[in-house]
Chains A and B, each alone.
Chain A
Amino acid sequence: LAKTTQPISMDSYEGQEVNITCSHNNIATNDYITWYQQFPSQGPRFIIQGYKTKVTNEVASLFIPADRKSSTLSLPRVSLSDTAVYYCLVGARLSGYSTLTFGKGTMLLVSP
């Protein structure tokens, strides 16, 4: 399984763009890159997923360089409610089940 490395914490202010980078040097050909958001005492919530290049949805953008050894989650114009832990995961379905390993994530604190 590909291991991921992301910053333990980040600080930002309301209205700013936040970029969280995740390193996954040993990503496999079949692996997807998935980001989750978790608020205290809640289950993680799927944010965005990509395989290569750029993916954008109503919540965030995901930038993946050609070598796929890293990825950057971009949150445009964050608000106080974006304060949460963000997890970067790399994995794929193997032999009938999906295997994902959650690290400690990045604690994003958005201040007024």
Chain B
Amino acid sequence: SQTIHQWPATLVQPVGSPLSLECTVEGTSNPNLYWYRQAAGRGLQLLFYSVGIGQISSEVPQNLSASRPQDRQFILSSKKLLLSDSGFYLCAWATATDPSSIQYFGAGTRLSVL
């Protein structure tokens, strides 16, 4: 069966520090991968998606970047965190050939920028 792992679960970082969140998927090949952010009490905002190694599309301009160095690894990064980067970050995957687009989410990372 397929599983998705995200770490760390929680993170407290000072303003201006770098960020690296990692997501890996097991049990599937060539998945579509996604990074979302959820601010407190709000819906999910799609940040990045990837359909293959090295292929990254951004949905909103921001202080963040994403990379996909391996087929089942997706990394969210920042060189200098802002206070507004605080939130709940979620990684998700979907079967590339699935027309119904069901996405499966990781447990999330709670990021607090102080």
Contacts and interface: CB of A to CB of B under 8 A. Distances in A.
Nearest to A40: B88
Contacts of A101: 46
A30 interface: yes
- Contact residues of B: prevailing secondary structure: strand
A12 to B, nearest CB: 21
Interface size grouping (class) on chain B: 20 to 34
B64 to A, nearest CB: 18
Contacts, number: 66
Interface string B102-113: 111111101000
Given A102-B36, A102-B44, A41 B110 contact: yes
Range of interface residues on chain A? 20 to 34
A104 B107 CA distance: 19
A101 B36 CA distance: 10
A80 B45 CA distance: 28
Interface in A60-112: 87, 91-93, 96-105
Contacts of B94: 93, 98
Contacts of A87: 43-44
Interface in B49-74: 49, 51, 57
**Chain A to chain B: the 3 pairs with minimum beta-carbon distance, closest first:** A43-B105, A98-B101, A102-B44
Interface of A: 30, 32, 34, 41-46, 49, 51, 87, 91-93, 96-105
